[in-house]
Structure 1
Amino acid sequence: MTVLDTLSIFTALLEVLLQGGVIYGWPSIQFVLIQEGYFALNCSSPPDNGTITPCSSDEASFNLVFSLATVALMISAIPLGYIFDIFGTWTSRSIACFLSTFGWTLLAVMSPQTAGLLFPAMIMIATGGLHFLVSNVQLSDLTTNFKSAYIFLLNGAFDSAIVVFFLNKVAYDSGIHLTSVFQFMACLSVFPWLRTFLLMPKNKILVDKDSSVGRYGIMEILHFAKRTEINSSFNLQSPDQDNSNPEESSNNNTQNKNKELSLKSCLKSPLFWTNLIFLCVGYLRLVFYLGSYITWISQIQPPDRIDFFANLFGYILIAAGLAAPINGVICDAVVKYSGDSNISQNTRKLRGLFVTMFITGCIEIILNITVLTHSIYGSLVILLFFRSFLFGSVANFLALNFPMVHFGQLYGVTFFAAGLFSLLQYALFLSIENSYLFSIVNYLLLAVCILSFVHPALIIVKAYTNKASAVTRN
């Protein structure tokens, strides 16, 4: 890898950490917004200063903001994924940058009297954050020996973005006005704009180029300036000179490599659909936990302990980025060292994907159990791994099992379906008025999560089928 490759990868992780899955830090910022009196007008008796006493209408409004934002995040994956695959990186990332910047700006200008701005602001921040993740997955092609580890690390950074709202809460608790905090975040949203046009390709990453010309915006700009200077000195170009665009020819080569597996064939694959179902179930489990966290601890802890557990949520989940690469490293190790040399690379990949999916499924089951047993500390630790492993496993499966040229659209369809499925979360939120109903909902989620093990089962069956077919041919 070149210096620019390393710089692009490093800044990609930083960008996703600062602007990615910020919405999943919702419990931290919800606590602050309650203290500021947002949606308090919906209550017959507004909360006293310094205490957390949200009414049912208050909680319903906050849950609706979170539900709409997380659903919009997932549903937006399909149009932005299509734009990314068809029109390239600069176009799709420009849309994401605009959404992120405008969302933070809305937060900076809102007040308790204009609490309705929370809806478009959170939707824009969530939507833009997801596409920062999607557009940076292509950099995994630069790390062929550690492709899965990079994808999991990137998803870990996306999950660790909850630290943004947590640090916003810490700043607020230290006396900094909430408006000033959001103004700082609005200024920080300029960083993705700079990365887009300096350290990201105009279309897609070109791994087979000998130089960085055309790979990154900064080199493309410099190359264009140099070419303009040459053309101004020599108005004539040799007739036998190749006028083809090196980026276009490289893209054509990439397309030719993957033409044997079309987008339609990918969508017809049974494993694609079981992967989709795996994410739908896991994501519903995740967003229900995050959206009901404050309500849950309010039911089982005294009021003076809620602030402690709100802070604990942020402290523990900051480490999500450190836990994320574990599953990726395991997958890379299984792919590299699995079985003898006669096993095909595709079978090795399937074995690696089975291990990561099985581990993620087991952690999902344990998370359900910790919630049902009212183990707050245990649930937070398990959640730390589950959030990173869930998104990383799904993205890694699509990247390793299907051509990267279709990644944006396949990722978009998967997340779009999960977004629609997660609409159930708001109905679940409305049904947890007491601890008894909360337990019933969690038992139902546990049963559904067990059924999602169909996906890793089909993966390992296909791996053994491929191995048997290879032995028969030999």
Structure 2
Amino acid sequence: MILLNTLSLVTSLLEVLLQGGAIYGWPSLQFVLMQEGYFALNCSSNISNATTCSSGEAKFNLVFAMAITGFMISAIPFGYILDRFGTWTSRSIACFLNTFGWTLLAVMSPQTAGLLFPAMIFIATAGLHLLISNVQLNDLTTNFKSGYNFMVTGAFDSGVVIFFLVKLAYDNAIQFKTIFQFMACLSVFPWVRTFLLMPKNKLLVEENGKAVKFGIFEVLHLAKQTRLNFARKAKVQFQANLNQNEISSVDETQNTEMEKTLKSCLKSPLFWTNLMFISVGNLRFVFYVGSYITWISQIEIAGRLDFFTNLFSYFLISGGLAAPINGLICDAVIKYNNSPEISPQTRKLRGLFVSILITGTLEIILNITVLANSIYGSLVTLLFYRSFLYGSVIDFIAKAFPMIHFGKLFGFTYISAGLFGTLQYALFLTIENLHLFSVVNYLLLVLCVLSLIHPLLIFVKAYTCKTVNSEE
């Protein structure tokens, strides 16, 4: 079991790195696609200078906007499927979309550029769910749950390395189709992990902190039983283990937590301020990524566009190394507040307050560096901000609310943030047609400052009383 647990944790990071957050490396892929002449059929300029074609840029931005919106909207159905039908079922759907998406990239051409829309939506959607399904593995750790949460989201951030490597391979004369044929083959890896290293339903932990046998053990068990008998026994055993797991927890307050209904979680002011925080933060991030090449083109000579595109990838790849920092800070604050007078839930909220406050501060700094046209300053800030943003939100949902509702709460949060993120395309058209780049960024700065109400409310809940219930 120790070997299985270790393999599950290590390969989860590798899986999310290779197949998770590739969508955030979009500028690198966009650069390659422009060189190939995608969306340049209606441009009057030369294909090699496709960056000067406004209609081409708008279509590329629309692909990115639809992919980001699609994968965030998909969070709620995938979260429901994960909670209702289990890990194998939900991951099988994600793996199919992932393989299909990479296959579409492998067969498309400039004449069939429309395939880029479904391909990027499928890849982005599947990548997000691979991340969601791996969060439950934090129960395999003991005192470093936040550390693992931020490590796996950091690997998701560093997924930009995939399209960056695509660009490097393309620059070294490897054919475009060959690159994505290889990626389609690599998409078999999540299929293997699903049935050998992931639980069939949900990861269950016994009173002694050991995980109930999962993955390969469940495959072997399936091979020994008839389908009908196993279905009946697995349902009874899963429910019994689930009840035992949820009741036997590290502290007494969790017993009370598990009695909370989904409705009470949705009524929590903290849930809604967290929703506002991720919605604003996601809009700030996707607008930066979607308008990056346009922004760089306005303040740098065209000959350096390739350099700054590569530089963007270098910084976001490094985000995976920065991600655990926030998780370690959160865990350290929780351990520091170990007085018996402070309830375990309050200790969690105090750790989350510091984590989210740091993220909100970085968000404001990112806005300021963009307004100052500081390319290097914005990239350094983005390195930490991108790593902290999604990790802190996922960690907040996992800690402030019962894990039994994690999939549904995460899904509702992301679908709302995704719908709000569709404003990114409207903002892009504003800077493209009206040249109001500074006005748009000032607006985003105001929204980011307003979103600090979330860490402020957490502070009030964590420091004004000794016992804090998440439904308050």
Aligned 8 A contact 2:359 2:385 in 1:
yes
User: Which 10-residue stretch deviates more, 381-390 or 429-438?
Assistant: 429-438
Deviations 1:374-414 (A, max 9, x none): 11111111111111100000000000111111000000000
Aligned 8 A contact 1:214 1:247 in 2:
no
User: Which 10-residue stretch deviates more, 457-466 or 193-202?
Assistant: 457-466
| CA pair 244-445 structure 1, distance change in 2 beyond 3 A | closer
| CA pair 274-469 structure 1, distance change in 2 beyond 3 A | closer
Work out the CA distance in 1 between the residues paired with 2:266 and 2:57.
39
Aligned 8 A contact 2:140 2:210 in 1:
no
Work out the CA distance in 2 between the residues paired with 1:119 and 1:286.
20
Aligned 8 A contact 2:40 2:50 in 1:
no
What residue number does 1:321 align with? Answer: 320
Shift of residue 209, structure 1, vs aligned partner: 7.4
What residue number does 1:414 align with? Answer: 413
Q: Does 1:38 align with 2:41?
A: no
Work out the CA distance in 1 between the residues paired with 2:384 and 2:291.
19
Aligned length: 456
Shift of residue 210, structure 1, vs aligned partner: 7.3
What residue number does 1:403 align with? Answer: 402
Work out the CA distance in 2 between the residues paired with 1:247 and 1:468.
32
Work out the CA distance in 2 between the residues paired with 1:351 and 1:402.
15
Shift of residue 214, structure 1, vs aligned partner: 5.9
Work out the CA distance in 2 between the residues paired with 1:469 and 1:427.
40
Aligned 8 A contact 1:47 1:54 in 2:
no
Q: Does 1:85 align with 2:83?
A: yes
Instruction: Spell out the pairing of 1:449-460 with structure 2 (5 A cutoff).
Output: 449-460=448-459
Instruction: Spell out the pairing of 1:1-400 with structure 2 (5 A cutoff).
Output: 2-48=2-48, 51-208=49-206, 215-226=213-224, 245-254=236-245, 257=255, 259-338=258-337, 340-400=339-399
Kindly provide the amino acid, as one letter, of the partner of residue 425 in structure 1. Answer: Q
- In percent, how many aligned pairs have the same letter? 68
Q: Does 1:443 align with 2:442?
A: yes
| CA pair 441-244 structure 1, distance change in 2 beyond 3 A | closer
Shift of residue 225, structure 1, vs aligned partner: 3.8
Shift of residue 245, structure 1, vs aligned partner: 4.6
Shift of residue 211, structure 1, vs aligned partner: 11
Work out the CA distance in 2 between the residues paired with 1:325 and 1:348.
19
Kindly provide the amino acid, as one letter, of the partner of residue 54 in structure 2. Answer: S
| CA pair 275-211 structure 1, distance change in 2 beyond 3 A | closer
Kindly provide the amino acid, as one letter, of the partner of residue 447 in structure 2. Answer: V
The residue matched to 1:283 in structure 2 has which SS?
Answer: helix
| CA pair 458-177 structure 1, distance change in 2 beyond 3 A | same
Q: How well do the aligned residues superpose, as a CA RMSD in angstroms?
A: 2.1
User: Which 10-residue stretch deviates more, 204-213 or 315-324?
Assistant: 204-213
Aligned 8 A contact 2:461 2:468 in 1:
no
Kindly provide the amino acid, as one letter, of the partner of residue 87 in structure 2. Answer: T
Kindly provide the amino acid, as one letter, of the partner of residue 178 in structure 1. Answer: F
Aligned 8 A contact 2:207 2:245 in 1:
no
| CA pair 453-244 structure 1, distance change in 2 beyond 3 A | closer
Work out the CA distance in 2 between the residues paired with 1:214 and 1:152.
24
Deviations 1:255-298 (A, max 9, x none): 55554111111111100000000000000000000000000000
Larger-Rg structure: 1
Work out the CA distance in 2 between the residues paired with 1:122 and 1:368.
27
Work out the CA distance in 2 between the residues paired with 1:437 and 1:122.
28
Kindly provide the amino acid, as one letter, of the partner of residue 56 in structure 1. Answer: S
Structure 1-normalised TM-score? Answer: 0.92
Aligned 8 A contact 1:354 1:460 in 2:
yes
Shift of residue 347, structure 1, vs aligned partner: 1.1
Work out the CA distance in 1 between the residues paired with 2:162 and 2:446.
33
Deviations 1:146-193 (A, max 9, x none): 000000111000111011000000000011011101100000000000
The residue matched to 2:174 in structure 1 has which SS?
Answer: coil
Work out the CA distance in 1 between the residues paired with 2:73 and 2:46.
35
Kindly provide the amino acid, as one letter, of the partner of residue 137 in structure 1. Answer: V
Shift of residue 463, structure 1, vs aligned partner: 1.0
Aligned 8 A contact 2:345 2:468 in 1:
no
Deviations 1:337-377 (A, max 9, x none): 12633211111111000000100000000100110111111
Work out the CA distance in 2 between the residues paired with 1:165 and 1:308.
15
Aligned 8 A contact 2:206 2:212 in 1:
no
Work out the CA distance in 1 between the residues paired with 2:147 and 2:283.
25
Aligned 8 A contact 1:212 1:219 in 2:
no
Deviations 1:59-113 (A, max 9, x none): 0110100000000010000000000001000010001000100000000000011
User: Which 10-residue stretch deviates more, 254-263 or 152-161?
Assistant: 254-263
| CA pair 211-299 structure 1, distance change in 2 beyond 3 A | closer
| CA pair 353-195 structure 1, distance change in 2 beyond 3 A | same
Aligned 8 A contact 2:70 2:121 in 1:
yes
Kindly provide the amino acid, as one letter, of the partner of residue 410 in structure 1. Answer: L
Aligned 8 A contact 2:51 2:57 in 1:
no
Deviations 1:322-341 (A, max 9, x none): 10000000000100112633
Work out the CA distance in 1 between the residues paired with 2:132 and 2:413.
12
